Amino acid sequence: MNLVIDVGNTAIKLGVFEHYKLVDHKRTTAAAFFELFQKTIQKYNTIDAVIFSSVGNLDTQSLSLIKDYDLELVELSHRLKMPFKNLYLTPETLGVDRLALTAAAVSKFPKKNVLIIDAGTCITYDFKNSNEEYLGGAIAPGIALRYSSLHHYTAKLPLLSIKEPDALIGKSTEQAIHTGVILGVIAEIDGIIREYCNIYDDLTVILTGGDAHFLSKRLKNSIFATSNFLLEGLNYILGINKSK
């Protein structure tokens, strides 16, 4: 069995795979991570390999404790064997989460043009073509980051939580913020999908990340919404890099 660990900007996710089937997954914080890791290893004592991906911060003590276990440990980086050709101009700066998402696209949609939209702290757009070439994409602020920016970089705007806008025209400051943030994100995503469709008429679009469920019901375009796409990509990469 495989254990995949995704350290994000706001949370840590663990996924247990039996071959390519996700049998368990949990979400935790950095402070509670190692306790959950221990419980997972004890519960699934046939785990023999772990892949670790981090775009956030995890203390060095937790990392060293993981290495004390008799497990094959793979740390995700652009140097690993990938199921696609990476044409990014600066592969060493490409977020490892984006590598995992692209690997998942190859696994789930081989020989297809795929746009992966990861709506989390940031909204990332990643594209791989039908030749299994990763071309790149875009990075934009996520929903929570947009709310936070309006509050922190102005003198008087309040910090709000995500909420469906009441109308196109905001009739109060709070309504105007919700309208600007949410409808702005939806227009951005729909617009980018439309631009890709103008080039690739057979485009498959994947929406994932923490805000995927909220956004999927509001987007005009036909998409596949999935919450565990990154974990599946990590497991696929581990499968082609583990020694046994």
> Which pLDDT tens digit goes with each residue over 2-45?
999 998 877 899 999 999 999 999 999 888 888 999 999 999 98
Lowest mean pLDDT: which of 57-71, 170-184, 227-241? 57-71
Q: Does 173 appear as a known binding residue?
A: yes
Please say whether the structural domain 85-233 has been given the CATH code 3.30.420.40: yes
Residue 107, strand partner residues: none
Question: Which SS3 state, helix, strand or coil, does residue 210 take?
Answer: coil
Domain ranges of the chain: 2-75, 85-233
Per-residue confidence band for 59, with pLDDT thresholds at 50, 70 and 90: low
Q: Does 40 appear as a known binding residue?
A: no
Residues tagged active-site: 97
CA distance 179 to 59: 38
Q: Does 179 appear as a known binding residue?
A: no
> How high does pLDDT run on average in the chain?
93
In CATH terms, the fold of domain 2-75 is Nucleotidyltransferase; domain 5 (3.30.420)
Report the predicted TM-score, pTM, of the whole model to 2 decimal places. 0.91
Token code pair at residue 113:
């043009």
Q: How many residues does the chain have?
A: 244
Q: Read off the pLDDT of residues 88-106 as tens digits, 9 standing for 90 and up.
A: 999 999 999 999 999 999 9
The answer to whether domain 2-75 and domain 85-233 are alike in fold is yes
Neighbours of 200 (CB within 10 A): 15
The amino acid that residue 161 corresponds to is: S
Q: Does 11 appear as a known binding residue?
A: yes
